[in-house]
A and B are shown apart, each in its own frame.
Chain A
Amino acid sequence: MSYLYGGKILRVDLTHGDIKIVPTERYASKYVGGRGTNARMLYETIDGKTDPLGPDNIVAFGSGPLTGTTFPGCSRTDVMCKSPVTNLIGNCSFGGDWSAELKNAGWDHVVLEGRSPHPVYVYIRNDKVEIRDARPYWGLPNYEAQAAIREDLGNPNYKIVSIGPGGENQVTFASVHSNIGNSGSRTGNGAVMGSKNCKAIVVRGTQGIAVADPDAFLEACAEAHMHIRGTDAYAEYHEIGLLADELAYVRCGIECGGDAHETAPSFDDKFNYSDFWKRYGYKRTGCTGCPVHCMEAYNVPGIGATIISCELYPQLGAELRNYDERFWYYVVMQCHKQGLDNTSVATILQWLMTLWELGIIDESITDGYRMEWGNREAIEGTFWNIVNRKGFGNVLAKGMKAAADYMDAKIPLEKRGGKSTYYHAMQVNNNPMYGIVGRFHGQALAYSVGRRSDLISDLDMSEFLIVSAPVYPIWDDATKKAYTEAEQAEALRLGGTPEAADPDGYKGKAALVHDMGMTIGLPDTVGTCKWHTKFLYMYIDAPHYAKALTAGLGRTVEPEELVNASLRMRNLERALECKMGRRRDNDTIPEKEFDKKVSHGYWKGKLGTSREGLERMKSEYYLIRGWDLATGIPYRETLLEYGLDDVAADLASLGILPERPEWLSTQAMKEPSLAHILMDEEEKRQREAAKAPVEKEEKHTSEADKATTA
């Protein structure tokens, strides 16, 4: 038995009812596990032609070497497939207790392939794997289905990840859900699971996880636990979760996208999450092995009980100007139960309300609902129509682009102001944006280059703190000043220029976004929670993971090895996305968002991201990543540097592999803080080249020669 790993990957062929066992070692040495191994398995399976909802797609559920161990935050499951929302990589993760159980059953990953002829669930009890009839549970909401399966199995210790009716009906933005409140959302992984007729994966494991040096491993984990418990952020999240964060973001106008807050009056005091928690919260809770307990458990009389954390607060509340707290709670809970991504639901409804306000749509489009801001009947009716794929809801279930095409065909161009309804959709690559607007420069870059138009893949957390500190609810002035100054110093260190720490600046932001992307790749591969990193200011970093892995695996793991694996994974993902058609042009924010000032809260009338500014940040980002400035595809040299030789050969055979020009410095890859200087030089070079077209042509010829010889 291999240390820390279960050692086996379970591949379930639902078409033929077969199972196959693949050794984890095939991937682990290069990709560590979790998101890394998932990405590699996805690369080997899909391409641009794969139908996301067809049998050729896969859904991979993955844990990492530290999942299920004593390392803090050991609970994450990474879920990957080709997304029916973006037609690119669909990646989400969820916490809870599922993957820890999977590891204890001796498995690192479960991959669903093919399509079952009738609804089934996958049953795993240690080495015993069965594909079982799920027809009795088909149609049941997540909570009810999981309770029924557990009851029928006669053992409450089974851990289950399932889909709700949303996933069964293949609503493109359906989520997977584990236990109560643990959702893997945003990219339609639930819809893909539904397309395979797979209701759930049910796991019980009692085999344990072997550790090479238990004493040293315990010490490394103890150190990480105590490190987290010693941070200021822990003290806050442990007591009140993300309530203060959410309130701060609303106050400075970050939490709502597009026109949602353009014409809105102040949100302050209209929706007070803290009061809601005091009234209806009964318990703090969290995932397996986590000291933070960031989630709130609620029981609202007449509606029911559920668990809530993170972005659920503003999305279906403030963003829709839905100030009826009990109704907000009801919709959130139904998103869990029916298995839909609440962010997508909120952003789509916000889009419809914008179109309604602009007079572009009316009841003839919306099944008779008046899409006025905060209209309870419209929100609830449309939600259920999406879940059940009825009427206009059936159109919305296909995603924003399909819905825009439908509306454009029905509404004359002049009524649309000469534009497509898609112009008003807050989306990146058709993925409804997480509310936070692109008016904050670092976030605009993160949304553009990230993998799913939100802040979970790349992010500028320094900017977050700097812009939200002035309105942070629980800090006094001295605290605000101290945190802001500390974060500005960090931004200066990483970005290499004071502009990086300045919300009005563009230069140096790419280094911050890249650094966060690199950092959260670490927990994503080892299978722990990214919130414990600097992502939420708890600063677990590569050395902590390396120390635990060294003790647990019984071989020396250097922090650099893990950082390298994180970067390798990101380049692999990017290569796959480029293979499926993603280019520099796709890395953007909605056209409508350019040059818009913040329209609400503390930053009202300020900031806004310009097109040139975003392009400049993207160029710096590509420079740091080693991606082609023109296309955004990783250079051959970059892929080779991370040992992705076969990927390079693959892209070359498709004729899309760029060669790194000789004159292009690779310094930014080693020292991201210099990217802004190198980009200044590059822009100067381009300007000069534009002045002397003959010289430029010669250069191009020599590059082409080089490419041919290579």
Chain B
Amino acid sequence: MADTSVADASMKIVRDEGREWVPEYGRLLVEPEKCTGCRTCELFCSLRNFGEVNPARARIHVVRSQEDNIITTVPVVCQQCEDPLCMAMCPAGALSRNLETNAVVVDHDKCLGCRTCVQVCPFGAPSVDPRTGKSEKCDLCGGEPVCVKFCSQEALKFVTAEEESMTRKRDMVDKYVEHLRAASSGGTI
């Protein structure tokens, strides 16, 4: 692994927790091309986690681009990195790994609201809660992400690492099979 100071620091913290990498941990898989931009994930996330419906507080955000009126929507959510920059850089030590779920979680008592995590995250996944001023990020709902349950497009999935790495491969193979069948039957199916 690349020997950068930042990565080093984060790995150290992780290892200090005595954690081992477990492939069976559930992971949130995002497939943006399936997303229609309905933001149902935001609505349920805020209701489940804050007891109110408020997309501005949600821990997942569907970011919309409509340059030239062409719609692209991408759900942005914490990827629960193996070497989380947010955890490494948090000056208050407010971020830690939940060993049950593998989620990186915020201790709001420790959080200073300094926004360092927002700034260092390569995805911009953490947000500052407009009500509390503290950091908010996905904690996988304790192992059963509510967003996944209500994503009718299946643009969000909760899968193991093994499934995750196979999902796209299978999609590709499905398309290939469909193409071959169409070709062999002399037309569309």
Contact = CB atoms under 8 A, between A and B. Distances in A.
Q: Which 4 A-B pairs have the closest CB atoms?
A: A208-B54, A291-B152, A206-B56, A214-B51
B53 A209 contact: yes
Interface in A267-284: 282-284
Contacts of B43: 68-70, 74, 288-289
B52 interface: yes
Interface in B27-77: 36-40, 43-44, 46-48, 50-57, 64, 66, 68-71
Nearest to A101: B55
A299 interface: yes
Nearest to A1: B52
Interface centre among A156, A218, A282 (most CB of B within 10 A): A218
Nearest to A217: B47
Given A214-B52, A299-B70, A289 B36 contact: no
Interface string B122-163: 000000001100000000000000100110110000000000
B52 A210 contact: yes
Interface residues of B, number: 31
Contacts of B52: 208-211, 214
Contacts of B153: 293
Interface stretch (A85-93, A114-122, A301-309): A301-309
B36 A218 contact: no
Contacts of B149: 222
Nearest to A206: B56
A180 B131 CA distance: 31
A207 B149 CA distance: 25
Contacts, number: 105
B51 A211 contact: yes
A286 B38 contact: yes
A284 B69 contact: no
Interface of A: 68-70, 74, 97, 100, 104, 143, 147, 156, 180, 205-211, 214, 217-218, 221-222, 225, 229, 238, 282-293, 297, 299, 304-307
A208 B36 contact: no
A5 B55 CA distance: 16
B53 A293 contact: no
B71 A208 contact: no
A100 B146 CA distance: 20
Contacts of A211: 47, 51-53
A324 B166 CA distance: 44
Contact of A156 (B40, B54, B64, B152): B64
8 contacts: A147-B66, A208-B52, A214-B47, A218-B47, A221-B47, A225-B152, A282-B70, A306-B69
Contacts of A287: 38
A70 B38 contact: no
Given A70-B53, A206-B54, A289-B43, A284 B68 contact: no
Nearest to B131: A208
Contact of B38 (A104, A282, A289): A289
Given A68-B53, A286-B38, 6 more contacts: A206-B56, A209-B54, A214-B51, A225-B150, A291-B38, A304-B68
B47 A70 contact: yes
A308 to B, nearest CB: 12
Nearest to B150: A225
A305 B152 contact: no
Contacts of A221: 44, 47
Contacts of B46: 208
A217 to B, nearest CB: 7
B66 A180 contact: yes
Contacts of B37: 285-286
Contacts of A217: 47
A125 to B, nearest CB: 12
A104 B54 contact: yes
A330 to B, nearest CB: 14
A284 B36 contact: yes
A410 to B, nearest CB: 41
A283 B34 CA distance: 8
B177 to A, nearest CB: 19
Contacts of B64: 156
Contacts of B40: 70, 225, 288-291
Contact of A104 (B48, B51, B56, B131): B56
B71 A180 contact: yes
B52 to A, nearest CB: 4
Nearest to A285: B36
Nearest to A214: B51
Nearest to B64: A156
Interface centre among B48, B54, B71, B131 (most CB of A within 10 A): B71
Contact of B69 (A288, A291, A304): A304
A289 B70 contact: no
Given A97-B39, A217-B47, A225-B150, A69 B53 contact: yes
Contacts of A100: 55
Contacts of B130: 206
B47 A283 contact: no
A70 B44 contact: yes
A282 B68 CA distance: 14
Contacts of A205: 56
Interface centre among B52, B57, B69, B71 (most CB of A within 10 A): B69
A549 B54 CA distance: 17
Interface in B67-119: 68-71
A71 B150 CA distance: 11
A229 B53 contact: no
Contacts of A292: 152
A446 B53 CA distance: 37
B36 A283 contact: yes
Contacts of B69: 143, 180, 304-306
A421 to B, nearest CB: 38
Contacts of A290: 38, 40
Contact of B70 (A68, A70, A288, A305): A305
A147 B64 CA distance: 13
B138 to A, nearest CB: 17
Contacts of A147: 66
A229 B38 CA distance: 15
Nearest to B51: A214
A238 B56 CA distance: 27
Contacts of A283: 36, 71
Contacts of B152: 225, 229, 238, 291-293
A307 B37 CA distance: 13
Contact of B39 (A289, A299, A307): A289
Contacts of B131: 208
Contact of A218 (B44, B56, B70): B44
Nearest to B70: A305
Interface centre among B46, B54, B149 (most CB of A within 10 A): B54
A291 B41 CA distance: 11
A104 B55 CA distance: 8
